[in-house]
Amino acid sequence: MEKATFAAGCFWGVEEAFRHIDGVVDTAVGYEGGTLENPTYEDVCTDRTGHAEVVEVTFDPARVSYGQLVDFFFSIHDPTTLNRQGPDVGTQYRSAIFYHTPEQEAIARAAKERLQASGRFRRPIVTEIVPASTFWRAEEYHQRYLEKRGLSSCHV
């Protein structure tokens, strides 16, 4: 199994979307990329810790490739909006890929360049591609939030 970590706005919907991909064996929501040790949701919501809301995806590379996950990531949000997705505004909602290996970095950068060159977006893609750092698991009530509330409707 391998890990992939993505930030694409509010982590509830992002987690729900990734959970439906064949080859994804587990997901967890949390915080990454900031300076505060062991941040809480309330800390991150202040927009002062530097953390992004992220989804850590555990996947079977024999069933789904990292490249497929990156392409999916780019398809489920607007990677051209800086520090926001829809009504959610703040650095915690930024678009980011936290890579775990040099191979993941190369795949993510190539996908971003390919998408930018495609002309699909008029504005530049602002997705950060940065090394994975400490993943701080979010509070339990955030895990599988939409599923727990019967709002699971995404089928990829």
Identify whether 10 is a catalytic site residue.
Answer: yes
Catalytic residue selected from 4, 7, 8, 10:
10
For the chain, the DSSP string reads -EEEEEEESSHHHHHHHHHTSTTEEEEEEEEES-SSSS--HHHHHTT-S--EEEEEEEE-TTTS-HHHHHHHHHHSS-TTSTTEETTEESGGG-EEEEESSHHHHHHHHHHHHHHHHHTS-SSPP--EEEE----EEPPGGGTTHHHHTT------
Residue numbers annotated as active site:
10
